[in-house]
Structure 1
């Protein structure tokens, strides 16, 4: 007689990003002992005690919420960002915290592609094109090419590397900032960090000490670094003042990397020549916010990593990890942080 499987309940925090639930359910359809609950963020605190595994998404899990998670064994992010989770509180409560690595899942690749889309949208004046079309005019606006531009990748991690690969065929010069350039082989692709080992993804690399000097030379700056106490507000008044006048800024990482007031001032003065964001300072972001009224500002609804490729892979990882948690097996696909 087969040993009955332990029941496991997964809580998806928030109703945003519905594809995450749909793809996870698809991989769990033959595992009736695992159930999924989806609750709006404002109701999670009252429901979390009923669940064994929590998929955090955009929810902020502070110590007060975690204290109510009396059955919880695992908190996992459907992606890479864990800045909303009080990891110390979870550790004290005996709850493991993990994320899905962006490399190898299609997440980093998808974010890199979306960065290209945002760059080209700024260079081709997407808002003005829409207005021209509505007015039934042809031949305008006159756009710019990506060819010949200098691009600064701020945060040369998994997304940054995928972005550099895709930028290279456009004929650009690529500068990259990374906190540490330790040469460690990436087992997923065999590359080393930097430009050694025949890898010609970037033209110049530097640490944080090169930030302002690189910004002064870049036509386009893409922020794709993690948000932490060192990077919060890294695009501030000093950064914007020192960058090349009229340069464009693209953010596919976290809204908190940008100083809101500094960005607004730089747009008003023309020092910042354009802004494209997939993330904002608060989400969902107010469509009537003054920054969005500029013709050279574009925003997308946090969809850089939301592709069939990445969501299918990440949904499979969440499902497999839930199965392994229910049986007490290791969860090798997750990256644990405590």
Structure 2
């Protein structure tokens, strides 16, 4: 990624590349504005490296980037609503996709784009083949070592607890000044099936163990490094051929697969074919 950013910015200060790795390390909460299209390109900006954030969601991402780049006047950041991106993307050199669907039509208009960057791991919204065809590099922030996987796994824990503790019903009870209802459940003793034991799956297993949960997981193949270092985290291992069997043992299923043509069908299969095999007494989905 460093080499990509360095090549993209030519002889500019290469430290700018590091912002894409540190972009999730800080949080700056303040209001941000989406730029107006007619103001985006001015004559004095002809020698400026222009960065496009496909907005308007996740405002901390571009707020932090703008603050980080204040010492670098030759790099400017704009935030454009995703519906307007196809019309203006030709005016930019770097595009941060966010939740924008970067399909072949949008990419074909990106005549000056050198890099499509994702603010996170998922590149399922980017047509990588089309980008490659147009000579555009595609990159992402890796989940390992950046806080990304940890953040996702913590969100999964939060959702599990919310379901088990019946969070919505509990809020209603509190508003009605009722205590002790509904009666929630615990992660203690629950079997959690992690479908796709990658970086997020590993971080999730680390957090489930202190709750007293039994962790079972499937992975396409198990490298020796994972088996040796993280064997204590998983009580039972399997491959994707075992998903039906493992689902039948699980109280909770967490899908941690990268979304692509091969895996897009898994959630649908789980919903329609596996519900009856799961422990229906206490069944949760993430």
Among 111, 116, 123, the alignment partner of 1:82 is 123
Q: Does 1:216 align with 2:248?
A: yes
Q: Which residue of 1 aligns with 2:284?
A: 249
**Which runs of structure 2 are paired with 1:142-221 in the superposition (5 Å)?**
142-183=183-224, 192-194=225-227, 196-197=228-229, 199-221=231-253
**Which runs of structure 2 are paired with 1:293-308 in the superposition (5 Å)?**
none
Q: Give the secondary structure class of the aligned counterpart of 2:216.
A: strand
Instruction: Single out whichever of 39-48 and 234-243 deviates more from structure 2.
Output: 234-243
**Which runs of structure 2 are paired with 1:38-49 in the superposition (5 Å)?**
38-49=79-90
Superposition CA RMSD, Å: 1.7
Q: Which residue of 2 aligns with 1:227?
A: 259
Unaligned 5+ segments in structure 2 are 1-9, 13-46
Kept after mapping to 1: 8 A contact 2:95/2:113 = yes
TM-score by length of 1: 0.68
Q: Give the secondary structure class of the aligned counterpart of 1:144.
A: coil
**Which runs of structure 2 are paired with 1:17-96 in the superposition (5 Å)?**
17-96=58-137
Looking at structure 2, the residues matched to 227 and 63 of structure 1 have their Cα atoms a distance apart, in angstroms, of 18
Q: What is the number of residues matched between the two proteins?
A: 240
Output one character per residue of 1:121-179: Cα deviation in whole Å (capped at 9) or x when no partner.
Answer: 11111111011112111111111121111111111111110000011111111001111
Q: Which residue of 1 aligns with 2:39?
A: none
- 1:180 Cα deviation after fit: 1.7
Looking at structure 2, the residues matched to 94 and 111 of structure 1 have their Cα atoms a distance apart, in angstroms, of 32
Output one character per residue of 1:203-230: Cα deviation in whole Å (capped at 9) or x when no partner.
Answer: 1111111101010011111112111122
Kept after mapping to 1: 8 A contact 2:163/2:284 = no
Looking at structure 2, the residues matched to 91 and 110 of structure 1 have their Cα atoms a distance apart, in angstroms, of 30
TM-score by length of 2: 0.80
Q: Which residue of 2 aligns with 1:118?
A: 159
Kept after mapping to 2: 8 A contact 1:81/1:99 = yes
Q: Does 1:7 align with 2:39?
A: no
Give the direction of change, closer, same or farther, for the CA distance of 1:131–1:198 in structure 2 (3 Å limit).
closer
- 1:201 Cα deviation after fit: 1.1
- Larger helix fraction of residues: 2
Q: Which residue of 2 aligns with 1:280?
A: none
Kept after mapping to 2: 8 A contact 1:102/1:158 = yes
Give the direction of change, closer, same or farther, for the CA distance of 1:50–1:135 in structure 2 (3 Å limit).
same
- 1:29 Cα deviation after fit: 1.4
Unaligned 5+ segments in structure 1 are 184-191, 252-338
Among 273, 279, 284, the alignment partner of 1:238 is 273
* Larger relative contact order, structure 1 or 2 (CA cutoff 8 Å, min sep 6): 1
